[in-house]
A and B are shown apart, each in its own frame.
Chain A
């Protein structure tokens, strides 16, 4: 393990992560004591086949789900803070302020316009009065992001009126509206053709390069995974291999195991 005196503390650190789902009376273990660390500014791709547990890992890291309780206990540390011991409200705030999600099927709210879909994240974070106070700033930021993603002319459109690539770019803009430290992308190109998918990955690469955004991306496509700094292979709920792929700002080793 690299000495802590020479390496900065990872932004996200996961240890002993286990997760079991119940299908009726049957228990289906999905993760078996996963260990993972993601450095600040790093782009990590978790590569695995369908059912390998990669999305579950991402959901746990993003606070969308809770790990199993066991001994030794699972730990998900973000920026030095242990999320597994936090109450629901703190996890909600974590999702709202510290991470942004990009999903395979975009998950835009169909009744809202493009602009509203982006600003809704800020509404959740700021609350009624906070948003009322900062509405102008938030709207300007949303427009800036959408302009940057080539969607400045689509602000009043609804998601049903957009192409897949456009929807995903709206989803990325929504994920970035609160300036998160960590972007969690779950098969962000899974529903897109190769060219559009590459364009989306270009956007992620650009964001990382310009803002030093930390990206944890789940994919089943080795070619997409090649875009990351580091590839973590997962199979049957276990990390099998970690390989640095490109030069990046930091490439810490897994915390353990």
Chain B
């Protein structure tokens, strides 16, 4: 009981415990901020695949595989799989309005199926904000200004079409990653505003043009068509209007991906359904027929069958509670082998790639994991010095309070009782310091992007570069279990720091403590 009374009195009447509390607070806040941001970075990286790729993919690059509709049907029939959708992926070049040409990944998707797997509509950027928050207004989000136009862009994005300005008929259209065009500028508030397109004319003068991609922009796509054995057939160059833009949150994806309608891309890449002809016969060019005009031409090849349409990828989303690894196991163990048995012309089950997002980015994710562990380890060591700081402060306080210890012993306080007084005092400092540290850490983490913007504005200090760290925003989530672990570590730090001084206090002989000056 006397321990509680003295702990309260010592806490409120001395500067030393305040210093110890500040030390603990800073340590706790530092570790929490570091762990939350680095852990958040890893978490966002692990979760960022779902909005673009679902939980897992069946993948056969470049040449692709046929009968994908059957595979989709088989997948969706499984109770642990919610949805599946075909996708064709190809490397290509994009020619932008300012004549810049960039290497990109072109993904052909069926809008409806793609949405079912990925929830992609959430990622479309140009859409109306029906219930704007005060922050939306504060950052002057341009999406608040023209609701009807935004509604149109959103509809265009969902259908991947844009009306022809002359005929009014819907044309196939592309959806660009928000960073692809270079015509948008991300503000400090995290919204995108138009930036004038500046280009050089042939006469050397500078042309400034205002282009808003979903309204009047179009891009040129240059693609390489391959046959089903991966042999180049020819290159194609097409122009496509832009229906909308998307933001996945992963900078690399946003800066290097263009979505187009699946059927359109299949046609360009010669992956659509086609008639098979026999080109093996020597008589192909020896047999001629006379046309109506009397001109002799080679005899048309005889159709021998139909080559089914192909895709490179099928995206899969697992049912609620099913992990990506579960989905992968189900596909590899049962669904794909049965599919391959039904269709001998698809890749063998041992060859086909079934990958989760984590598999596809294994190197990056492993390095981020290691980096997170390393940073935590280093900060843990730095924070371990707090133990010695608390020890030094407590040692000094025990010296200062030696006579009090003697008085308590004279009143009958036991050795463990005196030790508990100092341990309890350490715990109290740990609790107050850790709670303050958690509060400070939480405030820092949840406002980290604002703080970062302020540092950039005030001191020109830009630590987080989206091009380096993949994400456009610094992760700002504090997980409960991390807060609990850091809180407990803060208290343990104080306990360790207080243990030796407590032992020293407990071992003092009462008579010597009373004589201490």
Contacts and interface: CB of A to CB of B under 8 A. Distances in A.
Contact of B514 (A92, A107, A112): A107
Interface in B393-437: 403-404, 406-415, 417
A127 B1 contact: yes
B414 A111 contact: no
A111 B9 contact: yes
Contacts of A124: 2, 408, 411-413, 417
A62 B407 CA distance: 13
A132 interface: yes
B407 A107 contact: yes
Interface stretch (A1-9, A38-46, A115-123, A227-235): A115-123
B509 interface: yes
Contacts of A92: 409, 412-415, 417
A88 B403 contact: no
B511 A120 contact: no
B412 A112 contact: no
Contacts of B13: 111
A59 interface: yes
B407 A125 contact: no
A64 B6 CA distance: 22
A138 B511 CA distance: 27
A88 B511 contact: no
Contact of A97 (B5, B412, B415): B412
Most buried by B among A62, A95, A97: A95
A174 to B, nearest CB: 8
B511 A107 contact: no
Interface string B1-41: 11011100110010000000000000000000000000000
B403 A112 contact: no
Contacts of A111: 6, 9-10, 13
Most buried by A among B13, B409, B412, B514: B412
A10 to B, nearest CB: 23
A147 interface: no
B49 interface: no
B2 A65 contact: no
Contacts of B261: none
Most buried by A among B13, B408, B411, B514: B411
Contacts of B510: 64-65
Given A64-B511, A65-B511, A107-B403, A131 B1 contact: yes
A109 interface: yes
A88 B414 contact: yes
Interface in B363-408: 403-404, 406-408
Most buried by B among A62, A111, A112: A111
A110 to B, nearest CB: 8
B506 to A, nearest CB: 11
Contact of A132 (B1, B6, B409): B1
Interface residues of B, number: 25
Given A64-B510, A65-B511, A111-B6, A125 B412 contact: yes
A257 B9 CA distance: 49
Interface string A171-197: 000100000000000000000000000
Given A123-B2, A131-B1, A132-B1, A96 B411 contact: yes
A126 interface: yes
B5 A120 contact: yes
Given A109-B6, A111-B6, A123 B1 contact: yes
Contacts of B409: 64, 92, 95
Contacts of B413: 92, 96, 124
A78 interface: no
Interface string A11-41: 0000000000000000000000000000000
A103 to B, nearest CB: 7
A93 interface: yes
Most buried by A among B4, B5, B407, B415: B407
Nearest to A95: B412
Contacts of B511: 59, 64-65
A132 to B, nearest CB: 7
A107 B410 contact: yes
Contacts of A125: 412
A227 B53 CA distance: 97
Contacts of A107: 403, 406-407, 410, 514
Nearest to A120: B2
Contacts of A89: 414
Contacts of A65: 509-511
Contacts of B412: 92-97, 121, 124-125
A248 B401 CA distance: 41
Nearest to A106: B407
A97 B413 CA distance: 11
Contacts of B414: 88-89, 92
Interface in A83-114: 88-89, 92-97, 101, 103, 107-109, 111-112
B411 A112 contact: no
A186 to B, nearest CB: 9
Contacts of B9: 111-112
A109 B1 contact: no
Contacts of B403: 107
A128 interface: yes
9 contacts: A88-B415, A89-B414, A101-B411, A111-B10, A111-B13, A120-B2, A120-B411, A126-B1, A131-B1
Given A92-B415, A107-B407, 7 more contacts: A92-B417, A94-B412, A96-B411, A101-B411, A111-B10, A128-B1, A131-B1
Interface of B: 1-2, 4-6, 9-10, 13, 403-404, 406-415, 417, 509-511, 514
Which 10 residue pairs of A and B lie closest in terms of their CB atoms, listed nearest first? A96-B412, A111-B9, A123-B2, A95-B412, A123-B1, A65-B511, A131-B1, A64-B511, A92-B414, A128-B1
